[in-house]
């Protein structure tokens, strides 16, 4: 293929906007969709566990403090500890799957910016006269 022939898919990278090239390169990276069903399920599960665990811990507090029976108080303490554990696990799940989408996009953006920088530096080096004794332009 010569430089004057159009690209096979009739897209000219010189006339595409930066946003169009970015979207096309993101599709070429084959990064899974952050709104995938399984990740969304874990995200919702984490949020639900946080809410249910918090409600369970609060109800266990009132259960253990509104009785004089030590057996009921111990049941309330065990229930409260289970609620706190569910809240911590839910928060960890929620944070993991909510940050995954953001960090995936950040990594793709970083990769794209580095590729653009490498292209600019390569173009600058190609335009620089190698036989000259002048310093490289900055």
Cα–Cα distances in Å, from 105 out to 31, 53, 118?
9, 31, 20
- What's the pLDDT at 1? 44
Segment holding 9, helix H or strand E: none
Per-residue tens of pLDDT for the chain, all 138 residues: 444 554 555 555 556 777 787 778 777 777 666 556 778 888 999 999 999 999 999 999 999 999 899 998 999 999 999 999 999 999 999 999 888 878 878 888 888 888 888 888 888 777 765 566 666 555
Consecutive H or E run containing 115 = helix 70-127
CA distance 97 to 113: 25
- Judged on CB neighbours under 10 Å (0-12, 13-18, 19+), 79 is middle
Q: What is the CA radius of gyration of the chain?
A: 28
Write the DSSP symbol of residue 119.
Answer: H
Q: Distance (Å, rounded) from C-alpha 111 to C-alpha 118?
A: 11
Residue 60 has a pLDDT of: 94
Residue 27 CA to residue 12 CA, distance in Å, equals: 17
Cβ proximity of 17 and 107 under 8 Å? no
- Of 122, 112, 101, the closest CA to residue 36 belongs to 101
């Amino acid at each position: 293929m010569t430089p004057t022939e159009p690209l096979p898919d009739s897209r000219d990278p010189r006339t595409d906007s930066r946003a169009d090239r970015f979207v096309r390169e993101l599709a070429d990276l084959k990064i899974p969709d952050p709104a995938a069903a399984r990740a969304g399920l874990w995200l919702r599960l984490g949020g639900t566990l946080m809410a249910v665990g918090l409600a369970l811990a609060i109800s266990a507090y009132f259960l253990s403090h509104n009785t004089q029976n030590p057996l009921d108080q111990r049941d309330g303490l065990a229930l409260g500890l289970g609620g706190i554990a569910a809240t911590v696990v839910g928060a960890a799940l929620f944070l993991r799957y909510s940050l995954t989408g953001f960090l995936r996009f950040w990594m793709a953006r970083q990769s794209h910016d580095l590729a653009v920088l490498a292209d600019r530096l390569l173009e600058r080096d190609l335009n620089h006269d190698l036989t000259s004794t002048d310093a490289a332009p900055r």
